[in-house]
Structure 1
């Protein structure tokens, strides 16, 4: 208990999806006052009430991450509620498998929408929160990126490009405001077994991902939540500009190693 005691955290996308909710809940459990900002306003307020029932301090507020004035309003709400903001978790992210395709066929309006929501929202949230962090004397910004920002794929070109932008914007914020005692880091999840993943991915697809993991299991929402908690806490006070890849070792090996091991096993059995 108390790893972020006395800090005030604004978590965007803190109610939509199990990852954001995990981040918000862990922050409050470890002593932070938490503002949960989400397009699902009712969900944000319900999450805040549940945190209060568990003895934490939280409030919910509406957020449209595609609108600058809404992001500004969420920061202003945090200041009104708790007097400052010392932790900002830019956690909003969208993807669209129907429109975000390969480069030739993707929907250009969808490209613009994902750049606004996934990347520009990180810029604006940081832009509006940093002056308050400077006034407070310190701050920690944590941006949710994705392994899609480090690799190529057959689809989701806009999503991957937007998340690559998040990775590098994280470095720029860290370089520009480090002397103000503001750290900025990112978290890049791989496949996380959220309810959406469990419900929408056939077991055969999950098995394909599992085949290429270095670890013999998939990630859970709290694996991301605890990483964000660490980056928000003073335990990570000498870490900045980094994006931690939380992906079970899925991308660390030669991509042919799994098939090669299968080949060796079959050859030895003959």
Structure 2
């Protein structure tokens, strides 16, 4: 029996990148999965592929910044599969014009917070009552190494991810006795098609140099951690922030490397 057999999961931002990796791994481990994404066509393609391969999946179009759509996402999942056990709040936005404070576009700040922080909060708001009905569940939030350190830019994004870690602790504290766990995953650089389009080979090599591992991680590395946190194998883990970053945050000078990478990218 697969470790997530009989469980039902939602993954936001599930049509690509880290979310796609999580959807595929959760399905492989036996969960029925709702692929939730603002990209309706992409979500449907992912769900169709899972069903074609013998899994169970539905596609749900959702803008996580809109409360009515988040509520509908939960309702549609429960209607399709009868329950909800796992919520992976993964959808996020990191705009290119996210710079320093004096240059901050306040509307952009609010939009980032709406997607990256208010969205996961609303996911928790509507998922927790469904998890209570089945005796518990697991919520996994995707934050970022940026949420733990200062940065030369990405100010709004970093603040939103730091807030998401605080939200995780609150959910874990308030609902632990109900059997509902909540943890945060903090990816470092993860190689996705979008990453490869954005960065040159030279910049990728510089980023790899910032890691302690001899390689840069892929979506499958985050997906393995998400599946673990979704399962009973992690039943005694809650309220935690777990780095999955190749050790970049423990290396002295990592921030300087990232600044150099960004300067090269911008020039």
What TM-score do the two structures reach when normalised by structure 2?
0.93
Partner residue in 2 for 1:28: 27
| Equivalent residue number for residue 107 of structure 1 | 105
Cα distance in structure 1, aligned partners of 2:195 and 2:45:
23
Q: Match of 2:129?
A: 131
How many residues align structurally?
Answer: 257
Query: How many Å separate the matches in 2 of 1:154 and 1:125?
Result: 30
1:211 is matched with: 209
Rg comparison, structure with higher value: 1
Counterpart CA distance in 2 for 1:57 and 1:146 is: 29
Unpaired segments of 5 or more residues in structure 1?
Answer: 260-270
Quote the residue 1:73 is aligned against: 72
CA RMSD of aligned residues (A): 1.5
Query: Could you report, residue by residue, the CA deviation over 1:48-87 in whole angstroms, capped at 9, with x for unpaired residues?
Result: 1100111100000110111000000000001110111110
Q: Give 1:255 shift.
A: 2.2
**What are the within-5 Å matches in structure 2 for residues 1-270 of structure 1?**
2-15=2-15, 17-98=16-97, 100-255=98-253
Aligned partners of 1:144 and 1:187 also within 8 Å? yes
C-alpha distance in structure 2 between counterparts of 1:18 and 1:85, whole Å: 23
Residues 98-118 of structure 1 show CA distances to partners (whole Å, capped at 9, x for unaligned) of 2x1101102110000000000
> TM-score normalised to the size of structure 1?
0.92
Q: How many angstroms does 1:42 deviate by?
A: 1.4
Tell me how far apart the structure 1 counterparts of residues 55 and 180 of structure 2 sit (CA, whole Å).
Answer: 25
Alignment-derived partner of residue 264 in structure 1: none
